[in-house]
Structure 1
Amino acid sequence: MQHNIPIMSIFLGPKHLEVLESDIWNEELLPSKLLVNNIPYEMGITYRGEHIRNFPQKSFRVDFGTYNERFTGREIHLNAEYSDPSFIRNKLSFDFFQDIGSVSPDCKHVFLELNGNPMGVYLQIESVDEWFLQKRQLPYGSIFYATEYHANFSLLTPEEDPKLSLLSGYVRKLGKIEDDLDLEMLIYKINTVSRNDFGKEITNYLDVEKYLLWLCGIVCTQNFDGFIHNYALYRNGESGLFQIIPWDYDATWGRDWDGEIMEYDEVPIEGYNTLTARLLDVKVFRNQYRLLLEEILETSFTPEALEPKITNLHGKIHPYITLDSYKKESIDIFVNEPELILEFIAKRNKYLREHLKDLT
């Protein structure tokens, strides 16, 4: 087979493999080797994710211990994309965010083997960490992962119970313990500043334009739960402003987190979460969002703009699906996914255009 995507081979000793499989929630990095193009790399490996750890096809976190020049970082993620029958929604989403001027991780498809056994098509995703910042020439700053549904920028949980901590739902990926105070202050200000003062005050803590670009991206791709987790918060060390970075976008483009069809009108044009609601309550921000979204709907988020990218991604991984023991039985679904995604884009675009008037 002519290799359209890289082949990655992981080698894990029997004892370490037993440890990995005996406790899916174990965060211990297990020593292993990675072989790519006959070049070996020493690394540590463990499972990654929250609900995805329960899937038959596991996703992995790989840590090289130090900066790895080939992978332009210390850490990568290998996502199984188990719930996405197209395998391309995450990649398509991250590329889309970059196309509209937002920041998102770089990623590419690979075919993964474990101890000589084919694991299937995976998505290799860049970690959002200090190397992520350096690669983009962004100033050093703290990074927080929103790993749970409590990361809704509110003082209350989604169940409307008072939070025990303003940091509920977040894990600090980069920075010091004192950096937690900056995130606590952001959430405090979002929930306590008066309506009259909010528009001016929030600009001292948040890069509003970057947030609105992210809002355009999540509203177009319709990531239903991405408003309250599955993102990273980065605080620019020079400006002191927070910006949001997308993460885990497989439940998009017309399918939900279980891989089931999600209708094109499930997420309103105003999105969700407390911060979004407060920003769009400010007329100047609301107008700014409408203009950004209107341009994206005319240029980047159209079937004509996205069809070549969808066809290219789908075509690259098509030859490998029959080698994937987890997905080879659903090849017919895979074949029809580009049509489903393009149909979603057309309907979602029309829906959002019709609701632009709601932003006036």
Structure 2
Amino acid sequence: MSKGMLPEYRLSVPIKGAKSIEKGRWASQPVKGTLKTENQSYETTVKYRGAHIRKFPKKSYDFVFPSSRMFTGAKRIHMNAEYNDPSLMRNKLSLDFFRDIGVLSPEANHVTLYINGFYQGVYLQLESVDQLFLKKRGLPDGSIYYAISENANFSKYNPTTGKAKRSVTSGYEIKYDPEHSFHHLRKLLNCVLTSTDKEFPSKIEPLLNLESYFRWLGGAVCTQNFDGFIHNYSLYKNGETGQFEIMPWDYDATWGRDIHGDVMENKYVPIEGYNTLTARLLLHGNYRRQYRHVMEQLLEEAFTIESMEWKIEKLYASIRPHIIKDPYKHYSLSKFDKEPEYILAFIKKRNKYLKKRLHRLQ
């Protein structure tokens, strides 16, 4: 692959004609095909992914591979169109940011995608958070739960309606669990929901990796993912320590833009974030100080113009040659060209805003 070129993925499926591909109604149900990358070929099953994003002209996809011939050690990969992000890089920028600050995070890399020879544009290949995710990192076996809706807000109530949820585990799905149950997650949630303030620290500490949680919280607050506190995350229970760690997911609505790609002002999300678990933790002075220490470090070292500028410019330069001919790009090339400056301006303003509010974590 030439320097500066994105990996090229070529999918072949038994669908005839360019119009069938363009209309985007061919993968509502799983379709078998072949995915070729460089000199490798993989049998796969492909299907549209997401709910509302299926309505966009540029579709996102799930690829599933047989256990006998997995894709670089993965049984499943996700191809995200990043349709509403004018930069096409916010999701990757976020997930890399979390990894750099010490939070478990899926890998994300830009590629170009062709379907039956027709160029589909620039995509973000996302790693699936599953048992193989753990194995790849040498992590102990454990349970993985996905937060799939706003009900995953660590509360008894739906945050929109205010009505009681049907179950404490509403809003979650089991991605992987050796016991095929919500037992471990239910134990964590019941601790959050039923412990008294006095007994909460002694009950939560064996169940939650606090350093990891506060780093995740700091990352979500800095990048300002409005939805990231009540879904857009996964939970991993380490089978050796018994503690949960939280991981980010779906972070395209960040760095100063919302889920529609519109402006999100830098003061929108408070320094404390928001969900019931975080609120309960920050009631205790020692936890507030621990979180403040994490935030001070992020605002001085990781979430700065100096740290982020070269990463943004590198991503921008790698994408630009391929987005020019992207047939489904949502925004103009001129807007794409302004995004690095826009993101850096957001970082500067957001950093200043958060530093002025560190006193609230005394």
Paired residue for 2:177?
175
Paired residue for 2:287?
285
Match of 1:223 among 225, 233, 248: 225
The percentage of counterpart residues that share the same residue type is 49
- Runs of 5+ unmatched residues, structure 1: none
Q: What is the SS of the residue equivalent to 1:268?
A: coil
CA displacement, residues 286-329 of structure 1 (integer Å, 9 cap, x when unaligned): 10000011011000110111000000000001001111112276
Paired residue for 2:302?
300
Q: Does 1:263 align with 2:265?
A: yes
Deviation at 1:199, TM superposition (A): 1.5
- Runs of 5+ unmatched residues, structure 2: none
Instruction: State the TM-score, normalizing by the size of structure 2.
Output: 0.94
What residue identity is the alignment partner of 2:193? N
Q: What is the SS of the residue equivalent to 1:288?
A: helix
Q: Is the 8 A contact 2:83 2:330 kept in 1?
A: no
Paired residue for 1:309?
311
CA displacement, residues 237-282 of structure 1 (integer Å, 9 cap, x when unaligned): 1111111110000000000000001110100000011111111111
Paired residue for 1:55?
56
What residue identity is the alignment partner of 1:309? K
Paired residue for 1:44?
45
Deviation at 1:21, TM superposition (A): 4.6
Q: 2: distance between equivalents of 1:51 and 1:204?
A: 38
Q: 2: distance between equivalents of 1:329 and 1:236?
A: 42
CA displacement, residues 201-241 of structure 1 (integer Å, 9 cap, x when unaligned): 11121111111110010000000001111111111111111
Q: Is the 8 A contact 1:322 1:328 kept in 2?
A: no
Q: Does 1:9 align with 2:10?
A: yes
Q: What is the SS of the residue equivalent to 2:10?
A: strand
What residue identity is the alignment partner of 2:110? H
What residue identity is the alignment partner of 1:32? G
Q: Is the 8 A contact 1:321 1:328 kept in 2?
A: no
Q: Is the 8 A contact 1:61 1:77 kept in 2?
A: yes
Alignment of 1:134-213 (within 5 A): 134-158=135-159, 159-176=161-178, 178-213=180-215
Deviation at 1:38, TM superposition (A): 3.9
What residue identity is the alignment partner of 1:171? E
Deviation at 1:71, TM superposition (A): 2.5
After the TM superposition, which parts of structure 1 deviate over 6 Å for at least 4 consecutive aligned residues? none
Q: Is the 8 A contact 2:11 2:35 kept in 1?
A: yes
CA displacement, residues 147-178 of structure 1 (integer Å, 9 cap, x when unaligned): 11111011111121111112211111101455
- C-alpha distance 99-67 of structure 1, shift in aligned 2 (>3 A): farther
Q: Is the 8 A contact 1:142 1:179 kept in 2?
A: no
Paired residue for 1:104?
105
Q: Is the 8 A contact 1:146 1:230 kept in 2?
A: yes
- C-alpha distance 68-309 of structure 1, shift in aligned 2 (>3 A): farther
Q: 1: distance between equivalents of 2:195 and 2:91?
A: 36
Q: What is the SS of the residue equivalent to 1:225?
A: helix
